Chain A
């Protein structure tokens, strides 16, 4: 393979993570989009704005995770600890505000950030002793430790029901009383944008650049004068800070914090978001957070198999698209202007048909199984993909099974077609 073709396929040099440094204009543009979004038709309801708020919180959380993973090469299975402890700190502040403490609600996320930073430094002193696999296991253990501890200290953590507070019983700031979801959204958007800018700036600082070096080659980083353990600790503290900030935003939005805020499931979800979005690019985690939050919100109402689909999605990305959504977008962006792009789209269209059949079969099998196993009280008749299906009928299962198998076989047959189209498109892009 020619060197230029290799270079075309190589990840962009991480000059500032994504190879190009978004100038002030991009940030302004983002601010503009955030300003306008809650008024866009389709999103201009309480539901839509609530969704946007959740996306903002998830985006900050995922970006904080990626300080550890994508930037420093540290895989954490317990990052929710810092989100949750930040959330708890924030809800305590809110409760104090409810009782008369003259602090505006807008500043509550700072308490979250402080909680995240302090707990990040506390646990980080132990967790960053090692890197790699052991680090991953330690974070898992610390996560379980904190989760179990929340049930044992009901005074601080509120026990099973958690802690509640009100965001409206507070001194109003410029007339903002946070009674409406729109106000909550704008506060979240403001903090989220600020957090994203700070995280981006952090990666451009000397310690941020060294985090990347430590990720790539921790041994060599030691030999150019850096104590890699301290670098990991700093990254951990920074990641904790921003996770806590996200937790604080969550406390404002939901007005309740319970043990699920530090749970293994939340740690797993943020990992999946950052990974699916693309850990090698700054915007990857944001893309992942937006996508997963949207899917979760729209799908979990329709299907009890939502977590299975998420897991399968994750595995597919891990096996076939490890650079995530951001990587896929970049890949396509590189060949978008070539003439071969049209052929590529055509190949996709051809592959899409059997893929859809296969997916339909899989979905049918999955949904029917879930209905029978987990919700037998609803009976066996269900509506799937605009068709009426009876899970008790052998016919439904047979058709679904056939669709899955035949669809997969046909889909498989189209892979060389797509691969060939990619080869041509890449070659053309490299030659340009």
Chain B
């Protein structure tokens, strides 16, 4: 039996007396594309924060490829092969687009805290970064300071930073938020391409994006997963319809 890429077991999170995640158990297989949907306030971002190390769970276990990561700091989880993007664009504004990407591959290529090598001369870092730049379609803007990019460009860079280090598990937090239909379609194609062969967990509100990409969907309501299934069955699931999809389908 292969080890699931990501395994959550009875994960809980309380802020003071307020429970936000009320016990989530979930298994995501390697190579699977998994979407997490749910109404606002369900705890989707909190869940991402728990998995990526921004928060520690109050209880429960989170395993990445079998290794326990609950409560580990973000950098350790990233080094184990998990990378996440942010809903509010979280880039390095004063660095160029190229530098943004290059900084995100340095650790995965083993350069660590090296203070004796010239980064410009690191061919593998440059090639990795340029490859990632091409995949997100930003090669033309490589020398632009990230802070002056347009919103859509910054979202693309956001994804670029997330995937550049060749992570095995990718978490994307509302990757198409704020995009027009055309931009979202473009983003979906990009996401499909860059997550090929990797495990993807995605929080999304745009149902067409979800149906287009996901192998399975989990529905999160009030900190609990009320259903996990393939898209077709989720669509028909009565409980899900009542809690979330209702009559207003995206």
Q: Which A residues have a C-beta under 8 Å from some C-beta of B?
A: 3, 6-7, 10-16, 21, 201-202, 204-210, 212-213, 215-217, 219-228, 230-231, 234, 238, 280
* Given A209-B106, A210-B106, A227-B73, A21 and B92 contact (CB-CB distance below 8 Å): no
| Contacting residue for B95 out of A7, A202, A212, CB 8 A | A212
* Bound form: Cα–Cα A359–B228 in Å: 74
Task: Name 19 A/B residue pairs within 8 A (Cβ), A-sorted.
Answer: A7-B145, A12-B145, A14-B99, A204-B118, A205-B116, A207-B113, A210-B106, A212-B94, A212-B103, A213-B92, A220-B161, A223-B52, A223-B78, A223-B83, A224-B107, A224-B161, A224-B165, A225-B78, A234-B115
Q: Which B residues have a C-beta under 8 Å from some C-beta of A?
A: 52-53, 73-75, 78-79, 83-84, 86, 90-96, 98-99, 102-104, 106-108, 111-120, 122, 143-145, 147-148, 150, 161, 165
| Contacting residue for B147 out of A10, A208, A213, A230, CB 8 A | A10
Closest 7 CB pairs of A and B: A225-B107, A13-B96, A216-B92, A224-B104, A206-B111, A222-B74, A225-B78
Chain B residue contacts of A234, Cβ below 8 A:
113, 115
* Bound form: Cα–Cα A217–B157 in Å: 14
| Contacting residue for A16 out of B91, B111, B120, CB 8 A | B120
Chain B residue contacts of A11, Cβ below 8 A:
94, 145
* Given A13-B144, A204-B119, A213 and B95 contact (CB-CB distance below 8 Å): yes
User: Please, which residue of chain B has its CB at the minimum distance from the CB of A212?
Assistant: B95
Chain A residue contacts of B78, Cβ below 8 A:
222-225
* Given A206-B112, A207-B114, A219-B90, A10 and B148 contact (CB-CB distance below 8 Å): yes
User: Are the C-beta atoms of B90 and A217 separated by less than 8 Å?
Assistant: yes
Shortest distance in angstroms between A222's beta carbon and chain B's nearest beta carbon?
Answer: 4
User: Are the C-beta atoms of B94 and A216 separated by less than 8 Å?
Assistant: yes
Chain A residue contacts of B103, Cβ below 8 A:
209-210, 212-213, 221, 224
Chain A residue contacts of B147, Cβ below 8 A:
10
User: Are the C-beta atoms of B145 and A10 separated by less than 8 Å?
Assistant: yes
| Chief secondary structure at chain A's binding surface | helix
* Bound form: Cα–Cα A395–B86 in Å: 66
| Contacting residue for B113 out of A216, A219, A231, A280, CB 8 A | A231
Chain A residue contacts of B108, Cβ below 8 A:
225
User: Are the C-beta atoms of B161 and A225 separated by less than 8 Å?
Assistant: no
* Bound form: Cα–Cα A206–B104 in Å: 11
* Bound form: Cα–Cα A207–B92 in Å: 15
Additional A-B contact list (6), CB under 8 Å, known A206-B117, A224-B107: A13-B94, A212-B94, A213-B92, A217-B91, A220-B86, A227-B73
* Bound form: Cα–Cα A94–B146 in Å: 50
* Bound form: Cα–Cα A205–B79 in Å: 20
* Bound form: Cα–Cα A411–B103 in Å: 46
Shortest distance in angstroms between A259's beta carbon and chain B's nearest beta carbon?
Answer: 32
User: Please, which residue of chain A has its CB at the minimum distance from the CB of B122?
Assistant: A206
| Contacting residue for A226 out of B75, B86, B99, CB 8 A | B75
* Bound form: Cα–Cα A280–B96 in Å: 14
User: Are the C-beta atoms of B114 and A227 separated by less than 8 Å?
Assistant: no
